Structure 1
């Protein structure tokens, strides 16, 4: 993993905490949430305030996420909204935290100017001991306050001000006035700077969870289902009609089709389908070459094509199915019939433009683990786990490739692969995908 860290592919873009004032604020919040304090004077935190260095210090990678449920968070700055979320147990956690910061950015900016904001993503479940409990995780409420209780004091002061205005003898109630003055000293002037956070409840009907080997819950679609990364028989009885695992390829394909969740890459608008297929084929060749113990150092795309020709009989069915699609996309001719029984089938799809796009792409990455780019972009937890099992030659190639052709322009690469993505306000970016592809190429800023 050291190679990934050095190239910024792991623990990258974290927020650095180095000043004594910030360290002390973090410690106050940490003690408030967990009863612990760190002895470190310099560390990095993610979107939720989790620090991998402190995780090592405590020998507890879930010190802010006990049992993997109801994730706690510490905000020292609104700049954390651009950080990744580490040790993800629910796919919606990052979206909810980012949206909460965006919805309350001005207020949180003011609060974190003098104190840390500590809180929790709360649902009705505190211990997921069996899969059926996941169906109780339908709504998440964000609860938070500064360590000094600024929000709590402001809410109480607002209540007292209401009493003061409504009660006929409020002007003569010395106890009420004294309490208001005391709270105002803690919360500030709420008439000029009201301390009130907006939108703290977030629906969560569809999500991936790392619990029970990895489960995808789709509950808001017309035909709901649960898709398990492990054997579905181990889940027991669930309060949903359809439960599949990754071996149920035909059923998953029908699930995608019935709910209009996917589209063929070759028919998607605004992307270079042939280039995407060619790259997927390259990744499959690299995997096969690594298994054969071949040297992958400094390989160009011409070298990869040469390897494919020389070892065509050793390449898996995924390659040959994609090859037929590639020939159709570049040369025309008869449409190749690739059914869900074909290992290349899910490699030929991408998520349709729906609110579930990210979750579907995550599931597709799980179904197509040889596509290392989609795996890294859409399912980092699985990427890191598989990376540790790969031959050294493949690890070196993949790390160099991602650092060279993805890290340099993440937005361009994602736009070329997945189409237009909305910003935090739900608005599509101004530049169309075609313009992004024209400027940076279908794989980001590719070196020519």
Structure 2
């Protein structure tokens, strides 16, 4: 894994905690949440405040995520919103925590100037020892305060101020006034600098979880289902009609189709389908060549064609199915009939434009593990696990490729794969509008 770390492909973009003041704030928050303190004087933290170095020190990668259910967090800076979230147990955790920071950014910026903010993503349940408990997970509430309880003091002070203003004898209540003064010394001037954080609850109906070997739960679609990466019989009785494992390719394909969750890459708008298909084929060639121990110093398409000729008798059906699709996309002709039984089938799909797109792309990455770029982008947990099992030649090729083709322009790579999408406000990009109505605007009658 050292190669990935050196290239910024693992533990990249973490927040560096290097000053004594920040270390002390972190330790206060850590003790507040867990009763522990770190001896580290220099470490890195992710979006939630988890530090790989401290995880090694405690020999506990879940020291801020007990039982992997209610993730605790420590915020030292609003810049943590740009960091990855490590050791994810629920796919929704990063989006929820990032949204919480963005919705409270000005308040958090003021609070973290002098103290750490500690909190928890409180699930509907505290223990998931049985798969059926996953269906009790329906919402996540974010609770947070500084280690000095600034938010709690401010809330208390707001209530006292209301009493002072409304009670008939409030002006003459020396005890009330003294308590207000004492709280104001702890919370600051709440009239000029309000420090309330929104205690917001987020829905969590559709998600992936690392529990029970990995499960995808789709509850809000027209035809709900749970898809496990392990043995579906081991899950027992669950309160849902459809339960699939990765071997149920036909049933998963129908699930995608019935819920309009996917679309063929060759028919998707806003992307270069032929380029994506070629790249997927290249990854399959690289995997076959690595199994044979061949040199993988392939940086051009000509190099990959040379490898493809060398391993032509070892290329799987998925490669040939994608080649048929590429031929149709570039030269036309009859549409290649690729059924869900065909190993190329899921490689030929991408998530449709729905609220479930990220979760669907994550599942597609699981179904298409040879597509190392989509695997890295959409399912890093699985990518790192599979990376450890690859021959060193493949690990070297993959790390170099991702550094060269993805790391330098992440947004561009995502746009090339998944196409342009509306921005956060729902506006269509300007380029799409120009393409639709022309550079001089729409023609008016």
TM-score, scaled relative to structure 1: 0.95
Indicate how the Cα distance of structure 1 residues 194 and 233 shifts in structure 2: closer, same or farther if over 3 A, else same. same
Q: Aligned equivalents of 1:115 and 1:22: distance in 2?
A: 9
Render the CA deviation track for 1:30-65: whole Å, top value 9, x for unaligned: 000000111111100000000000001111110000
Whether the aligned pair in 2 keeps the contact of 1:415 and 1:433 (CA below 8 Å) is no
Q: Aligned equivalents of 1:277 and 1:256: distance in 2?
A: 20
Whether the aligned pair in 1 keeps the contact of 2:298 and 2:304 (CA below 8 Å) is no
Q: How far apart are 1:427 and its partner, in Å?
A: 3.9
Q: Do structure 1's residue 272 and structure 2's residue 282 form an aligned pair?
A: no
Whether the aligned pair in 2 keeps the contact of 1:419 and 1:433 (CA below 8 Å) is no
Q: Aligned equivalents of 1:79 and 1:214: distance in 2?
A: 30
| Equivalence for 2:241 | 241
Q: How far apart are 1:129 and its partner, in Å?
A: 0.3
Q: Aligned equivalents of 2:433 and 2:381: distance in 1?
A: 31
Q: Aligned equivalents of 2:201 and 2:163: distance in 1?
A: 28
2:73 alignment partner, SS class? strand
Q: Aligned equivalents of 1:434 and 1:298: distance in 2?
A: 39
Q: How far apart are 1:162 and its partner, in Å?
A: 1.1
Q: Aligned equivalents of 2:291 and 2:136: distance in 1?
A: 43
Q: Aligned equivalents of 2:6 and 2:432: distance in 1?
A: 31
| Equivalence for 1:313 | 313
| Equivalence for 1:394 | 394
| Equivalence for 2:92 | 92
Q: How far apart are 1:346 and its partner, in Å?
A: 0.3
Q: How far apart are 1:307 and its partner, in Å?
A: 1.9
Whether the aligned pair in 2 keeps the contact of 1:420 and 1:428 (CA below 8 Å) is no
1:43-82 alignment runs, 5 A limit: 43-82=43-82
Q: Aligned equivalents of 1:258 and 1:24: distance in 2?
A: 54
| Equivalence for 2:417 | 417
Q: Aligned equivalents of 1:193 and 1:422: distance in 2?
A: 35
Whether the aligned pair in 1 keeps the contact of 2:422 and 2:429 (CA below 8 Å) is no
RMSD: 1.4
Q: Aligned equivalents of 2:110 and 2:212: distance in 1?
A: 40
2:409 alignment partner, SS class? helix
Indicate how the Cα distance of structure 1 residues 212 and 267 shifts in structure 2: closer, same or farther if over 3 A, else same. same
Q: Aligned equivalents of 1:384 and 1:420: distance in 2?
A: 28
Q: Do structure 1's residue 255 and structure 2's residue 255 form an aligned pair?
A: yes
Whether the aligned pair in 2 keeps the contact of 1:271 and 1:434 (CA below 8 Å) is no
Q: Do structure 1's residue 408 and structure 2's residue 420 form an aligned pair?
A: no
| Equivalence for 2:370 | 370
2:254 alignment partner, SS class? helix
Q: Aligned equivalents of 2:311 and 2:103: distance in 1?
A: 54
| Equivalence for 1:440 | none
Q: Aligned equivalents of 1:413 and 1:433: distance in 2?
A: 18
Give the number of equivalent residue pairs: 434
Q: Aligned equivalents of 1:182 and 1:5: distance in 2?
A: 49
Q: How far apart are 1:193 and its partner, in Å?
A: 1.1
Whether the aligned pair in 1 keeps the contact of 2:143 and 2:199 (CA below 8 Å) is no
| Equivalence for 1:34 | 34
Structure 2: 5+ residue runs without aligned partners? 435-445
1:406 alignment partner, SS class? helix
Indicate how the Cα distance of structure 1 residues 238 and 403 shifts in structure 2: closer, same or farther if over 3 A, else same. same
Structure 1: 5+ residue runs without aligned partners? 436-448
Higher mean C-alpha displacement, 78-87 vs 186-195: 186-195
